[in-house]
Amino acid sequence: MIQVSVPEGCVVYDALIVVNGEIPSLKFWQGLLYRTIICTDGAANTLRDFSITPDIIIGDMDSISDSPLNATAMEGLKEHFSTATIHHLSEQHSTDFEKALNYALQQQYKRILCLGILGKSADHGLYNLNLLNRYSQHMEIMALNTFEDSRQWIFRLGQNMRIHTKKHNIVSFFPFPEATLSSQGLIWELSSTLLTQSGKGAIRNRANAESLVLSCQGDCLCFLISEEIPQLVTTKS
The topology under which CATH files domain 10-149 is Rossmann fold (3.40.50)
The CB density around residue 160, as the number of other CB atoms within 10 Å, is 15
Residue 73 has a pLDDT of 59
Nearest-angstrom CA–CA distance, 81 and 54: 8
Class of domain 157-237: mainly beta
Residue 5 has a pLDDT of 44
Tens digit of pLDDT for each residue in 88-124? 887 888 999 999 999 999 999 999 999 999 988 899 9
Nearest-angstrom CA–CA distance, 223 and 69: 35
- Nearest CA to 36 among 53, 19, 50, 21? 53
Residue 45 has a pLDDT of 83
The CB density around residue 148, as the number of other CB atoms within 10 Å, is 6
Residue 71 has a pLDDT of 45
| Residue 96 dihedral angles phi and psi, to the nearest 5° | -65, -35
Q: Where in the chain is the domain with CATH 3.40.50.10240?
A: 10-149
Residue 65 has a pLDDT of 53
Q: Where in the chain is the domain with CATH 2.60.120.320?
A: 157-237
- Nearest CA to 19 among 74, 51, 63, 78? 63
Which portions of the chain are predicted below pLDDT 50? 2-8, 69-71
Contacts of 49 (CB under 8 A, 6+ apart): none
Nearest-angstrom CA–CA distance, 132 and 139: 10
Tens digit of pLDDT for each residue in 54-73? 999 998 877 665 555 444 55
Answer positive or negative: Cα dihedral of 57, 63, 67, 73.
Answer: positive
